[in-house]
Amino acid sequence: MKSYRKELWFEVPTRRAFINITPEVNECLRESGIKEGLVLVNAMHITASVFINDDESGLHHDYEIWLEKIAPHEPVSGYRHNVGEDNADAHMKRQVMGREVVVAITDGMLDFGTWERIFYGEFDGRRRKRVLVKIIGE
């Protein structure tokens, strides 16, 4: 069995953003040389997510509105998380949007369902953060 590991780094200039990282994961898959197996992609921070959905700007806008409804950033004083920190909402948004995805690799390709793409969800940006890509297979 072959194994491949890479960390992707992101520094989002805003507090929140959704970034399509499918091209980066495809590049990892190409580098790995693995044709049949599994790829795991996970955020290495507890205020960021990796998830799969549609690359459609209206949907990303809707996510932003929905996440602000269930875990609003303001008022920061409404949260108890490490009094003085301002990112309690980011931890909750991460919890809802998830930590990782696993995608099958078939014939050297990401074996997606219709319209599936991989996204990095940033909820407390403006600093360097990492995503792990681990690929195993043959």
Name the site residues for Zn ion (rule: CB under 5 A): 85, 87
Residue number with the shortest CB distance to Zn ion?
87
- For 13, 47, 121, the CA distances from 99, given in Å and listed in that order, are 21, 9, 10
Torsion sign, CA atoms 70, 42, 132, 61 = negative
Shortest CB 46 distance to Zn ion, Å: 7
Smallest gap from Cβ 42 to Zn ion, in A, equals 18
For the CB of residue 8, give the shortest distance to Zn ion in the complex, in Å. Answer: 22
126, burial (CB in 10 Å: exposed 0-12, middle 13-18, buried 19+)? exposed
User: What is the spatial distance between Cα 29 and Cα 38, in angstroms, rounded to a whole number?
Assistant: 10
- Asked if residues 58 and 18 have their Cβ atoms less than 8 Å apart, the reply is no
Q: How far is the CB of 124 from Zn ion (least distance, A)?
A: 7
**65 vs 83 by CB, closer to Zn ion:** 83
Nearer CB in complex with Zn ion: 29/92: 92
Read off φ and ψ for residue 123, nearest 5 degrees: -120, -5
Is the Cβ of residue 48 or residue 52 nearer to Zn ion in the bound state? 48
